[in-house]
């Protein structure tokens, strides 16, 4: 009897585990949209980190002769190329400086809600019925409360600092991850490979982190990127109400709302920060799309096949 | 030559994928006459379903493409016909039934509505449809058709659902009925009933029956002629008994040789201390008794097969022994220690000794882990087995032991075929060096020839390593060549148990006899005599 008769001959033999870093870079290069998005996000990140140190002064200096200065006037200094705001402050410099607060609030809120929501969701999905019920009812309470109202109450009582804003936004977004993680966990835990791990004697921790989380994670990451945009807008709404970020601190959302009264006469006040929000969200979406494919061994070939076509 | 009912000429179908073009069907010719049953026999990937899909215009194009050929229905070429004309033919003149009736019935409509829909969709008035629907349901053997017509699909058993599908297909008295693996998901006794029904209906209406199957037994039972397909080509065609007795092509020969049930039956082992001794094990789900005081023993190096139809409690038995669920009462002694009462720490140790191989290897291997990770997980969980520096060498060794290449260890499960995946699952079980492996329908999801290979592997591992198997299966013929002892279960109880020879040659219980009689023999002549025996048996025990 030939034991190897049902051998799969269409695939090349892999003798060594491929280097994961090189492989990832190659897959990223093959998806041009994702590649451009990553480059854009790196630029945004760079602005967020070093922007305030270099441009803090330029961004806050008022210049009443340049009030609502129109964009694309290249005779002026470069921070004014995208125009000036109502107090004559250069828009480009302000956008770069505002990146720090915006990214910090959004990334912080998304990160904490993702972390807490996923943890609770996995616990609720995998452990006993009672714990699951308690966690789910807590989530229901948060969800039944309008998130903006909750934020208004909490921020009214506490100081309206960047850190408090992150906490409030994180709490309101926890149920989204929690419910998704729980639902997926309950589906995955019944799959046979989980049963197989149990038969081998795997601990609960091992089953959750090695077998369930990798299957659930791509879905959560996709939600997280969509949520990123939501949080940015929620933050601007709170800032608009005067309980979020307080001037002179700035964020993109605050800039959009500050430009609102001038929309008919000076559109660029709201347009540029709005564009920054849109591009960041779009890039995150494209990257998460790529990530979902890259993380799935069964789908990964889609990103590797392009390489062969390109030679 | 008179006009054929259906004539497929030089049909070729390609599928364009990113891996290149796959020739699913290459230059295939066959025909079907009125009142005739033609079986297309082949294993998965042989292209047997694709040609039937082409008849009903069910191929997705793209990626599919019909590159050549014609399909003549009463002389008219279906492939050049307008889509609207084809729609009129589909369901009305040519109907189809599928393998899994549950997924092809809409769960939110009553079955009566769905059967009536086929009629109204083809222009019949609504007035008489209800009476006709009830008549049809009665004809296909649904009891209390008057009331059942308003029931929903989930309220029927698997066999009844398939009867409903047949009623739906026959609603408009088609000239051709295409049956794609109609009995694969059903129990053997139900399978026999459905095949009988199909045959009766064919004789009544004189339609042409096109049967797509992987099972030579089904072919022997019902087909007049058979077309054997392998990787998109017809390798052999002829009458059912000619093909079985005089296979010409090597592939057909190999297929027939791979059928279990013709080998030498194993002798009973000498009585020694049992490795597993189950005493009056019960499992209740509320009022429902899934497992009712089951007692059995497994000796070291022995294979005990547990056979039963769906709902017999055989999978519950496996899960309870492995403590994937807790027993209600009774005990299961493994080397003298009770598994049912065992605490976490002892259970963890005993996990090394009892392993399991699951039914569907596609689902039992984590799709996101590489083969190396899957197998070496055993060593991560039980670090006392092996030092980390030896893991790689041991994984290589295990892969070779189950007939795979060490090179495969960095691949992921989706890159393997079904048989290879089951080999990986076996390697994973072996990594813990178990004394007992519970195989839950371990080869049921595999093609016949792959099945034979995996069974050979299991047997060889038993000879080399002295492993005991608790082998759970629904297919009696499969265990005939493999098991030392057979246990027949029904409704959570053990009906009969004994050495394999006794069960097959001199079964005591009526249920066992019924089960053996209902399983299909690939030999058309033997099957014919068996059929008569089964009719007598069921006449005697209604």
pLDDT digits (tens, 9 = 90+) for A165-206: 888 888 888 889 999 999 999 888 888 888 888 888 888 888
A148 lies within 8 A of chain B by CB: no
Decide if A9 touches B, using CB distance below 8 A.
no
Any domain includes A4: no
φ/ψ (deg, to 5) at B211: -115, 125
Q: A218 to chain B: nearest residue by CA?
A: B368
CB-nearest to B365 from A193, A202, A203 is: A193
Q: Which residue in the block uniquely carries the two structure tokens 């959560």?
A: A220
- pLDDT score for B538: 65
Q: Which residue has the tokens 């789910």?
A: A136
Are A15 and B407 within 8 A, CB to CB?
Answer: yes
Assigned domain for A168 exists: yes
For residues B308 and B474, is the Cβ–Cβ distance under 8 A? yes
Residue A37 lies in a domain: yes
Name the residue range of residue A291's domain: 22-310
Distance of CA B321 to the CA centre of its chain: 25
* DSSP assignment letter at B260: S
Which of B334, B354, B364 to mutate against chain A (most A CBs within 10 Å)? B364
| Residues of chain B found within 8 Å of residue A4, distances taken between Cβ atoms | 403-405
Closest Cα in chain B, distance from residue A13 (Å): 6
Q: What is the average pLDDT across A236-264?
A: 79
Three-state secondary structure call for residue B343: coil
* Most distant CA atoms of chain A, gap in Å: 91
CB pairs under 8 A between A and B: 110
The CA distance from B455 to B450, in Å, is 9
Give me the residue from A8, A14, A198 closest to B416, CB to CB. Answer: A8
A193, B364: Cβ pair inside 8 Å?
A: yes
Q: Which chain B residues are closer than 8 Å to A207 by Cβ? A: none
- Using the Cβ of A70 and the Cβ atoms of chain B, whether some distance falls under 8 Å is answered with no
Beta strand B64-73 with B6-17: parallel, antiparallel or unpaired?
antiparallel
> In the prediction, which pLDDT does A11 show?
42
> What residues contact residue A170 under an 8 Å CB cut-off, 6+ apart?
A108, A109, A110, A111, A112, A113, A116
Where are the alpha helices (H) located in B297-417, listed in sequence order?
Answer: 314-321, 344-350, 361-364, 371-381, 391-401
The residue that leads in pLDDT, A80 or B165, is B165
Judge contact between B162 and B142, C-beta under 8 A: no
- The string over A159-190, giving b where at least 16 C-beta atoms fall within 10 Å of a residue's C-beta and e elsewhere, is ebebebbbbbbbbbbbbbbbbbbbebbeebbe
Of A6, A8, A197, the CB nearest to B450: A6
Burial of A83 (0-12, 13-18, 19+ CB in 10 A): buried
How close does chain A come to B204, measured CA to CA in Å? 43
C-alpha distances out from residue B418 to B50, B68, B397, B459, Å: 20, 31, 21, 19
Q: Are B248 and B64 in contact (CB under 8 A)?
A: no
Residues 281-310 in A contacting B (C-alpha not used; CB under 8 Å): 295-298, 301-302, 305
Measure CA of the first residue to CA of the last residue in chain A; give whole Å.
41
For residue A205, give every residue at least 6 positions away whose Cβ sits within 8 Å of its Cβ, in sequence order, or none: none
For the stretch A19-49, pLDDT in tens is: 778 888 888 888 888 899 999 999 989 888 8
A159 touches chain B (CB under 8 A): no
Residues facing residue B438 across a β-bridge: B356, B470
Q: How many domains does chain A have?
A: 1
The tokens describing B53, both together, are 């899909």
Instruction: Give the span between the Cα atoms of A281 and A199, in whole angstroms.
Output: 44
Which value, to the nearest 10 degrees, does the dihedral of the CA atoms of residues A234, A235, A241, A243 take? 130
Using the CB atoms, write b or e for A100-131: b if 16+ within 10 Å.
bbbbbbbbbbbebbbebbbebbbbbbbeeeee
CA dist A13 and A16 (Å) reads 9
Nearest CA in chain B to A211: B366
Q: How does the average pLDDT of chain A come out, rounded?
A: 80
In this model, does residue A6 exceed pLDDT 60?
no
Determine whether the interchain pair B19/A1 forms a contact, defined as Cβ–Cβ distance below 8 Å: no
C-beta separation of A220 from A180 below 8 A: yes
Domains observed in chain B: 37-57+82-257 (3.40.50.300), 300-325+347-537 (3.40.50.300)
Please give, rounded to a whole number of angstroms, the shortest distance from the CA of A88 to a CA of chain B.
Answer: 55
Q: Which residues, including other chains, have CB under 8 Å from residue B150's CB and lie 6 or more apart?
A: B110, B112
CA A295 to chain centre: 17
User: What does DSSP say about strands B225-230 and B233-239: parallel, antiparallel, or unpaired?
Assistant: antiparallel
Q: How far apart are CA A91 and CA B222, in angstroms?
A: 81
Q: Which two tokens stand for residue B336?
A: 């003298």
Q: Which residues of A touch B452 (CB under 8 A)?
A: 1
Q: For residues B260 and B451, is the Cβ–Cβ distance under 8 A? A: yes
B66 close to B51: Cβ distance less than 8 angstroms: no
Intervals of chain B under pLDDT 50: 1, 541-542
**B431 Cβ contact partners less than 8 Å away, ≥ 6 residues apart:** B375, B376, B378, B379, B385, B394, B395, B398
Is residue A33 within 8 A of residue B432, CB to CB? The reply is no
Minimum Cα–Cα distance from B344: chain A residue: A201
Q: What is the largest CA-CA distance in chain B?
A: 77
**pLDDT tens string A106-164:** 899 999 999 999 999 999 888 888 888 898 898 888 888 887 788 788 877 877 777 88
**What is the pLDDT at residue B540?**
53
Q: Is residue A178 part of a domain?
A: yes
What residues of chain B lie within 8 A of the CB of A23, using their CB? none
Residue A276 included in any domain: yes
- Provide the terminal-to-terminal Cα distance of chain B, rounded to the nearest Å: 47
Q: Is A10 part of a structural domain of the chain? A: no
What is the per-residue pLDDT for A113? 93
Q: Mutate which of A14, A195, A196, A212 to test chain B, going by most B C-beta atoms within 10 A? A: A196
Look up the pTM and report it: 0.78
Is B17 an 8 Å CB contact of chain A?
Answer: no
- Which of B367, B419, B453 lies closest to A297 in CB terms? B367
Tell whether ipTM is more than 0.85: no
The H-or-E segment that residue B467 falls in is none
Of B348, B363, B415, the CB nearest to A192: B363
> Is A6 an 8 Å CB contact of chain B?
yes
Question: What is the per-residue pLDDT for A36?
Answer: 92
In a domain, A258, yes or no: yes
- Residue A310 has a pLDDT of 43
CATH of the domain at A257: 1.10.3720.10
């Amino acid at each position: 009897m030939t034991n190897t008769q049902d051998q799969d001959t269409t695939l090349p033999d892999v003798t060594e585990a491929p280097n994961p870093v090189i492989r990832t870079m190659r897959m990223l290069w093959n998806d041009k949209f994702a590649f451009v998005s990553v480059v854009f996000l790196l630029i945004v990140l760079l602005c967020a980190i070093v922007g305030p140190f270099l441009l803090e002064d330029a961004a806050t200096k008022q210049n009443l002769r340049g009030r609502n200065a129109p964009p694309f006037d290249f005779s002026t200094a470069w921070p004014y190329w995208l125009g000036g705001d109502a107090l004559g402050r250069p828009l480009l410099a302000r956008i770069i400086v505002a990146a720090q607060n915006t990214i910090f609030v959004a990334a912080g809120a998304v990160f904490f809600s993702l972390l807490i929501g996923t943890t609770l969701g996995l616990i609720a999905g995998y452990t006993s019925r009672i714990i699951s019920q308690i966690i789910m009812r807590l989530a229901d309470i948060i969800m039944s409360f309008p998130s903006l109202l909750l934020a208004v109450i909490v921020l009214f009582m506490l100081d309206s600092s960047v850190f408090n804003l992150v906490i409030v936004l994180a709490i309101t977004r926890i149920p989204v991850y929690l419910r998704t993680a729980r639902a997926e966990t309950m589906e995955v835990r019944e799959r046979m490979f989980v049963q197989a791990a149990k038969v081998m004697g795997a601990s609960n921790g091992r089953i959750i982190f090695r077998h369930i989380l990798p299957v659930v994670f791509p879905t959560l990451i996709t939600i997280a990127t969509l949520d990123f945009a939501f949080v940015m807008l929620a933050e601007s709404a709170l800032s608009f109400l005067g309980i979020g970020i307080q001037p002179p601190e700035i964020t993109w959302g605050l800039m959009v709302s500050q430009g609102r009264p001038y929309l008919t006469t000076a559109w660029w006040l709201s347009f540029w920060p709005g564009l920054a929000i849109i591009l960041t969200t779009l890039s995150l979406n494209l990257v998460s799309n790529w990530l979902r494919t890259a993380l799935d061994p069964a789908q990964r070939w889609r990103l590797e096949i392009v390489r062969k076509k390109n030679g | 030559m008179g006009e054929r009912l259906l004539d497929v000429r030089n049909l070729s179908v390609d599928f364009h994928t990113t891996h290149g073009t796959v020739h699913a069907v290459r230059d295939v010719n066959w025909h079907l006459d009125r009142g005739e049953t033609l079986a297309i026999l082949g294993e998965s990937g042989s292209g047997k379903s694709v040609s039937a899909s082409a008849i009903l215009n069910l191929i997705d194009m793209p990626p599919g493409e019909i590159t050549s050929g014609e399909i003549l229905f009463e002389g008219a070429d279906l492939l050049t016909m307008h889509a609207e004309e084809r729609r009129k033919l589909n369901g009305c003149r040519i109907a189809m039934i599928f393998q899994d009736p549950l997924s092809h019935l809409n769960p939110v409509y009553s079955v009566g509505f769905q059967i009536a829909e086929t009629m109204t969709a083809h222009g019949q008035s609504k007035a008489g449809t209800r009476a006709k629907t009830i008549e049809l349901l009665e004809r296909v053997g649904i009891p209390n058709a008057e009331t059942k017509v308003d029931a929903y699909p989930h309220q029927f058993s698997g066999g009844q659902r398939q009867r409903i599908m047949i009623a739906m297909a026959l609603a408009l008295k088609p000239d051709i009925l295409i049956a794609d693996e109609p009995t694969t998901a059903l129990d053997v006794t139900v399978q026999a009933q459905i095949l009988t029904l199909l045959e009766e209906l064919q004789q009544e209406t004189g339609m042409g029956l096109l049967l797509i199957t992987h099972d030579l037994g089904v072919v022997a039972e019902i087909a007049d002629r058979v077309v054997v397909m392998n990787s998109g080509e017809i390798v052999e065609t002829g009458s059912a008994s000619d093909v079985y007795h005089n296979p010409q092509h090597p592939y057909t020969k190999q297929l027939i040789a791979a059928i279990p049930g013709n080998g030498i039956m194993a002798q009973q082992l000498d009585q020694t201390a049992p490795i597993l001794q189950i005493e009056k094990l019960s499992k209740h789900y509320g009022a429902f008794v899934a497992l009712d005081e089951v007692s059995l023993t497994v000796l070291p190096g022995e294979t005990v097969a547990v056979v039963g139809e769906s709902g017999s409690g055989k999978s519950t038995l496996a899960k309870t022994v492995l403590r994937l669920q807790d027993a209600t009462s009774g005990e299961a002694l493994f080397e003298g220690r009770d598994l049912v009462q065992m605490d976490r720490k002892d259970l963890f140790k005993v996990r090394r000794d009892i392993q399991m191989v699951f039914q569907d290897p596609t689902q039992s291997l984590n799709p996101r882990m590489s083969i190396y990770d899957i197998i070496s997980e055993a060593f991560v969980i039980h670090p006392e087995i092996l030092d980390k520096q030896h893991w790689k060498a041991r994984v290589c060794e295990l892969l070779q032991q189950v007939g795979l290449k060490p090179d495969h260890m960095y691949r992921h499960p989706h890159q393997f075929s079904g048989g290879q995946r089951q080999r990986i699952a076996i390697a994973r079980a072996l990594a813990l060096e178990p004394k007992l492996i519970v195989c839950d329908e371990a080869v049921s999801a595999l093609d016949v020839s792959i099945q034979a290979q995996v069974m050979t592997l299991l047997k060889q591992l038993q000879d080399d390593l002295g492993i005991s198997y608790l082998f759970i299966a629904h297919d009696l013929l499969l265990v005939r060549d493999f098991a030392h002892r057979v246990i027949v279960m029904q409704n959570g109880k053990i009906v009969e148990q004994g050495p394999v020879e006794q069960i097959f040659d001199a079964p005591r219980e009526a249920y066992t006899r019924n089960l053996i009689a209902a399983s299909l023999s690939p030999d058309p002549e033997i099957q014919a005599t068996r059929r008569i025996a089964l009719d007598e048996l069921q006449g005697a025990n209604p």
